[in-house]
Amino acid sequence: MQGSVFFRALALVILAFGGVSAGFSVQAEPMTGIAMQGLPALDPARMSLPYANPEAPFGGRMRMGEPGRFDSLNPWILQGRPAQGISGYVTESLMLRSFDEPFSLYGLLAETIETDASRSWVAFTLRPEARFSDGSPVTVEDVIWSFETIGTAGGPRYQTAWKKVKSIRQTGPRSLRIDFTEPNRELALLMGLRPVLSKKQWQGHDFASETQMIPVGSGPYVVDKVDMGRSITLRRNPDWWGKDLPITRGLHHLDQLSWEYFGDQNVMFEAFKVGEIDLYREGSAVNWDSEYDFPALTAGRIVKEEIAHHQPSGIKGLVMNTRKPLFADWRVRQAMILAFNFEFVNKTLTGGREPRISSYFANSALAMPPGPATGKIAALLAPFAPDLLPGTLEGYALPVADGTAQNRRNMRAASKLLEEAGWTAGDDGVLKTAAGTPFRFEIVLQQGASESQAVVDIYVESLRRLGIFPKVTVVDDAQFQARKTDYDFDMTWMFVATSLAPGNEQYLYWGAQGADAPGSRNLMGMHDPAADAMIAALLDAQTPEDYTAAVQALDRVLTAGRYVIPIWYAPVARVAHSRDLHFPARVPLYGDWPGVTPDAWWHEAKK
């Protein structure tokens, strides 16, 4: 991008933010915040987050529910399923994210951040007052050890970013610098979000396998009680070093946060109805209308809230594993999508109230526009045109059924595609190859996941009419996680949340490097050079327009790849909670409370 264009764009951003840009600069000098595009909106030396309430009282508790079980207190490694709360409240990172901006960070453990215009390096200076909960100072040595350890022994998302770090070194008593191996505008922000642990606590422990030790952190809460697998309770630390920072005012006012684990979603809802947990997020529009007539709600002890949000839909539904030869053919995957009678399923399970997920970034400006690719999007995809699947350039839309159970038109189209791919129904009604091999696959689901099981029950009946008789296997939480980690499934349930600021995590979700590495989010096993190129383009984008075009191009590659049979999304968060719990009137951009965070909630008993 030409320098004049850059500075004109920068001037527009500064004008848009008025006088709050003090402390920010495009030069390589210390700043108090950083944004993926443009400048942060706040001056953190004077301002709290716009969705926080500094006047809220302290005290009270929030008891939340979680499905399944946990067996680890180390959320940074691949082994085990970690307990909730530790990474968000017990430990901290150098920077704090604002959920009212697409992707902006403000100094937390770090007093300042510094980088160059190309973001080929980043430097941080720690706050002198930063302390762990045991009273010891947070040092540069702790930061460097944490980054190196988590980057090499942590989960795939940490290792992926760490491979792009050329060097990390201390540059002063409270400062360090990280140099990168390649241009990547997001890496500076990702380093700001890496957890900082106490090096002293971990001496003599194998980080990659230690799952039972309670981490010492610098965050606003400490672990109070753990009943392994069943519950974890955090207690607010009254001596938290960061309680007086302007940017944290209005956050962390609850004295206690706890998560109770339940083997079944229905059991969790029953626990909420009798007051064993304080908050419940309802995933079913039908249940929201029909199941909330229990005594605590009718008596006013429980209130219902519908909270609008502006997040992309993400992708949710049944994912096909293309590592398996059966689903390697896009025609077979399209046939599976055609056989899924969304209109009938949606009407049956949600009363037709929820819109369908039409792409990976639906419900946002990042979603691919309908029709043929044009302009910058077409230019980005042009080098890959010979290998792109049908619909990527021309335009792709999910099939629409007539709403009846038979779905005849789409079933005929599915049969035709299957026949083109070498599958025909035999005299016994079973779909087979010419050699007699039947079309068989396994759908793996999690025990207690009522939504996915209800969807699959209807879908299986549709598949039978094509001569396909899948095996449905329901496993407990631990087995479900293990089978996904090892890609030991043909089809399974998938949900990947996408944000308004997609970045390096997209490599982990859809990139070639995640196609074979265990534990990635690339459950479909896609290995598409076009997807990798679009991710690289969005990471290198210098303007919002270039960034949006790259994400929309990626959306086309993903959606036309026909990897997932998507269901619906909720345009509002449906949350029922104790009447004594409150959240601010200002709902942030990522307003999916409390799916984002209960940080800004507080407890105030009604008289």
**Tokens read off for 492:** 């399974």
Work out the number of other CB atoms within 10 angstroms of the CB of residue 156: 18
Q: What is the pLDDT of residue 595?
A: 47
Closest by CA position to 494, among listed 463, 459, 524, 526: 524
- Return the H-helix or E-strand segment holding 114: strand 110-115
Give pLDDT < 70 ranges for the chain. 1-28, 591-597, 607
Burial of 291 (0-12, 13-18, 19+ CB in 10 A): middle
Distance CA 36, CA 101 (A): 10
Please state, in angstroms and rounded to a whole number, the distance separating the CA atoms of residues 236 and 220: 6
Neighbours of 252 (CB within 10 A): 24
- Give the separation between CA 289 and CA 53, rounded to whole angstroms: 31
Angle formed by the axes of helices 342-350 and 450-464, nearest 10°:
140
Distances (CA, A) of 493 to 76, 165, 490, 563, 588: 23, 34, 11, 12, 29
Cis peptide upstream of residue 594 (ω within 30 degrees of 0): yes
Summarised one tens digit per residue, pLDDT across range 316-350 is 999 999 999 999 999 999 999 999 999 999 999 99
Instruction: Write down the residue that tokens 């302290």 correspond to.
Output: 58
Q: Do 107 and 33 form a contact (C-beta atoms < 8 A)?
A: yes
Q: What six digits make up the tokens of 43?
A: 């001056």
Strand partners, 177: 123, 169
* pLDDT tens-digit series, residues 427-451: 899 999 989 999 999 999 998 888 8
- DSSP string across 67-88: ES---BS-TTSSSS-BPSSIII
Nearest one of 574, 554, 541 to 102, comparing CA atoms? 541
CA distance 535 to 547: 10
* CA proximity to 441, closest of 484, 471, 474, 473: 471
- Bin 324: left if φ > 0, else alpha if -120 < ψ < 50, else beta: beta
Strands 442-446 and 491-496 come out as parallel
In this predicted model, what pLDDT tens digit does every residue of 560-607 receive, in sequence order? Answer: 999 999 999 988 889 999 999 998 888 887 766 544 468 999 999 876
Q: Is 605 exposed, middle or buried (0-12, 13-18, 19+ CB in 10 A)?
A: exposed
**Separation of alpha carbons 109 and 443, rounded Å:** 45
C-alpha span between 93 and 197 (Å, rounded): 9
Q: State the CB neighbour count (10 A cutoff) for residue 96.
A: 24
Strand, helix or coil at 439? coil
- Look at residue 586 in the predicted model and tell me its pLDDT: 85
Is residue 290 classed as helix, strand or coil in its secondary structure? Answer: helix
Picking from 268, 282, 254, 298, the residue whose alpha carbon sits closest to that of residue 580 is 254
Q: Two tokens at 301?
A: 């002890």
**DSSP labels for 180-242?**
ESS--TTHHHHHHTSEE--HHHHTTS-TTT--SSPPP-SSSEEEEEEETTTEEEEEE-TT-TT
- Which residue from 191, 192, 254 is spatially nearest to 61, judged by alpha carbons? 254
Confidence at residue 3, expressed as pLDDT on a 0 to 100 scale: 37
Tell me the helix, strand and coil percentages in the chain, rounded to 5. 30, 20, 50
Residue 28: predicted pLDDT: 67
Its pTM stands at 0.79
Contact 370, 317 (CB under 8 A): no
Tokens standing for residue 588? 């942030």
- Span between the terminal Cα atoms of the chain, in Å: 60
Residues 6 or more apart whose Cβ sits within 8 Å of residue 376: 545, 546, 549
Structure tokens at 137: 């100072």
Cα separation of 40 and 570, whole Å?
29
Whether residue 37 contacts residue 12, with contact meaning beta carbons closer than 8 Å, is answered with no
What average pLDDT does the chain have?
Answer: 91
Look at residue 555 and give its three-state secondary structure: helix
